[in-house]
Amino acid sequence: MTDKIIITIDGWSSCGKSTLAKQLAKKLGYLYIDSGAMYRAITLYFLRNNIDIADEHKIKQALKNITLEFRVNEYSHQSEIFLNEENVEYIIRDLIIAEKVSEIAALKEVRSFAVKAQQKIGKNKGIVMDGRDIGTTVFPHAELKIFMVADETVRVERRFTEMFDKNPNITLDEIKANIEMRDYIDSHREISPLRKASDAIVIDNTHLTEKEQLEFALGLLKKRKKAVGAEK
């Protein structure tokens, strides 16, 4: 496996998927793609334009007016998402978006639009993509699939820390309710529900440091390379 591959990282909200994905991308020289950012950007567009999500025609028309692109920030060297040429990387992290994104991401038209865009990005491989259905629907034949989990209490604390700087009035109860709502919608939606791919490897990072989870993932990658080499 000297050629570049596709690495997928799925899992529950606030399990550290993006942190690990960014770590791996940086270590391997790959492009990091935050699939959740795509759904958040679409959600932002829908909210800004008062799109009625019960109207299939309006949803389809809205999607025709959306262009999504990832560009690497020259200072942070991290990929950031652009919605119709506007950098919305930080706007989409607001709790208002978080409260609506699972509902909008569950729409079949939105799902189809995003999956096609994600598959196009991964055509040349050399990417690490995180999300909810990357290893099951977007890239079912990815060379390495990871599924991340963590205790709910830890997930709530992580999200609270992340959100507090942006909104000091946020409470743990609000964060907990949001995470539980998103978990339910993500795992019960009709189209591409959140589930572990049969060949995905679970990483429980409840008690792992960022360094430890990276080392664990790199160990998985090394084993995968050996396995593929043995198959040839």
**67 annotated to a ligand binding site:** no
**13 annotated to a ligand binding site:** yes
Are the C-beta atoms of residues 18 and 205 closer than 8 Å to each other? no
**122 annotated to a ligand binding site:** no
- The span from the first CA to the last CA of the chain, in angstroms, equals 10
Helix (H) or strand (E) holding 86: strand 86-87
**18 annotated to a ligand binding site:** yes
Residues in CB range of 5: below 8 A, 6 or more apart: 125, 126, 142, 143, 144
**206 annotated to a ligand binding site:** no
Are the C-beta atoms of residues 150 and 71 closer than 8 Å to each other? no
Report d(CA 110, CA 133) in Å as an integer: 14
Could you write out the DSSP letters of every residue in 14-25? TSSHHHHHHHHH
Residues in binding site: 11-19
Residues in binding site for ATP: 11-19
